[in-house]
């Protein structure tokens, strides 16, 4: 089965083809960073318009890359949510029209499930069950993945997600958009012990996260600092975040007894986070997995993979009916009960 995957939830237009026998056979992506950098953040209307311009071109490029034609497509997967409604609508309506024209099944994919499963695009991947630290601009979660489609959320964020905290802190330092990766780069030149920032909720007794207090403390520090202090602030902030994430992840591993943990989402590309999580997990004989950086950020490959898995299992196919979801929690995909609600 050859599945076309379409990702358009925010500011990347992603298209990919995933084949049952050969795996990922084509991957095309266009980033809108240069467009939105002029405004210091994503402008939803401009994002939607750019998806309209780029999506058909990327589909053609993906088919050419794979040596395939439209008639070879067996199914179409598109991001149904969560995300910006206007941006989601572009990908969904394109998929709807193409599916109708080709008489092929459609499947709407949860964007966070796609991030969760992106590690399966790699040769080195975990066996079920495994734990996932899902960290992005909008989510900070610890998720027990018991099987494909079976997800138990062990801990969620109460306020700012970790990626959002990175981006907002970077903006306070006047770093160019997107600021999170630039803050991590700036931190390389700083002393992570220069400032004693809090490690939020380490003693909360649960696996939830909160980064708003840390962000506020850093904002107050930046207000009284000079630009020369920024590398030390960035390094100290990053260390506080990573200490928090790795401590909560260790606690989750001890609670669940899993032997594999995955880092997924945009923040999973942070090299220090990868190194520190591996260091913390090594004494526990727990292996750490993660997608390559290209598949940590939004992309069509992860959508194509999840769509393929859904279609081969006869799950979720729709008859050209599109119901987009600006918010769509992972817990809606599984009958598993959230631990903190049990």
Which residues are annotated as part of the binding site for Fe cation?
A: 111, 115, 298
Distances (CA, A) of 237 to 209, 214, 279: 15, 8, 19
Please give the order of strands across the beta sheet that includes 317-318. Answer: 23-31, 12-19, 2-7, 75-81, 106-110, 317-318
Helices (H), the chain: 33-37, 44-66, 85-102, 111-117, 162-172, 179-187, 212-223, 230-256, 271-281, 300-312
Task: State the residue for tokens 């631990």.
Answer: 339
Q: Rounded to whole angstroms, how far apart are CA atoms 157 and 322?
A: 29
Task: Enumerate the known binding-site residues.
Answer: 111, 115, 134-138, 167, 180, 270, 298
Task: Enumerate the known binding-site residues for substrate.
Answer: 134-138, 167, 180, 270
178 phi and psi, to 5 degrees? -80, 135
Pair type for strands 75-81 and 2-7: parallel
Q: Rounded to whole angstroms, how far apart are CA atoms 184 and 165?
A: 12
Q: Pick from 79, 83, 81: which is nearest to 4 by CA?
A: 79
3-state DSSP assignment of residue 13: strand
262 phi and psi, to 5 degrees? -115, 140
Q: Rounded to whole angstroms, how far apart are CA atoms 305 and 119?
A: 10
Task: State the residue for tokens 């990053």.
Answer: 238
Which residues, in sequence order, are CB contacts of 73 under 8 Å at separation 6+?
A: 2, 3, 4, 17, 98, 102, 104
Contact in structure between 180 and 267 (CB atoms under 8 Å):
yes
Q: Rounded to whole angstroms, how far apart are CA atoms 16 and 105?
A: 16
């Amino acid at each position: 089965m050859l599945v076309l995957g379409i990702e358009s939830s925010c500011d990347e237009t992603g298209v990919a083809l995933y084949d049952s026998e050969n795996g990922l056979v084509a991957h095309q992506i266009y980033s809108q960073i240069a467009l939105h950098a002029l405004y210091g953040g994503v402008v939803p209307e401009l994002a939607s318009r750019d998806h309209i311009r780029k999506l058909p071109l990327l589909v053609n490029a993906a088919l050419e890359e794979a040596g395939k034609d439209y008639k070879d497509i067996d199914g179409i997967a598109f991001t149904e949510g969560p995300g910006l409604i206007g941006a989601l609508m572009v990908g969904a309506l394109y998929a709807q029209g193409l599916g109708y024209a080709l008489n092929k099944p459609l499947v709407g994919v949860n964007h966070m499930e796609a991030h969760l499963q992106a590690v399966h695009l790699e040769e080195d991947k975990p066996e079920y069950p495994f734990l996932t630290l899902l960290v992005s601009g909008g989510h900070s979660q610890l998720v027990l993945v018991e099987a494909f489609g079976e997800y138990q959320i062990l801990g969620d964020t109460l306020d700012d997600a970790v990626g959002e905290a990175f981006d907002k802190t970077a903006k306070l330092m006047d770093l160019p958009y997107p600021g999170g990766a630039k803050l991590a780069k700036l931190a390389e030149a700083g002393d992570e012990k220069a400032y004693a920032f809090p490690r939020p909720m380490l003693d909360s007794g649960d696996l939830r996260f909160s980064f708003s207090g840390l962000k506020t403390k850093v904002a107050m520090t930046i207000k009284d600092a000079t630009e020369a202090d920024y590398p030390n602030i960035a390094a100290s902030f990053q260390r506080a975040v990573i200490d928090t994430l790795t401590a909560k992840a260790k606690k989750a591993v001890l609670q669940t007894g899993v032997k594999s943990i995955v880092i997924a989402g945009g923040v999973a590309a942070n090299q220090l986070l990868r190194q520190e999580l591996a260091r913390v997990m090594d004494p526990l004989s727990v292996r750490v997995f993660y997608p390559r950086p290209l598949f940590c950020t939004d992309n069509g490959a992860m959508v194509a993979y999840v769509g393929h898995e859904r279609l081969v299992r006869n799950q979720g196919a729709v008859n050209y009916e599109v119901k987009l979801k600006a918010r769509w929690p992972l817990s809606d995909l599984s009958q598993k009960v959230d631990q903190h609600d049990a």
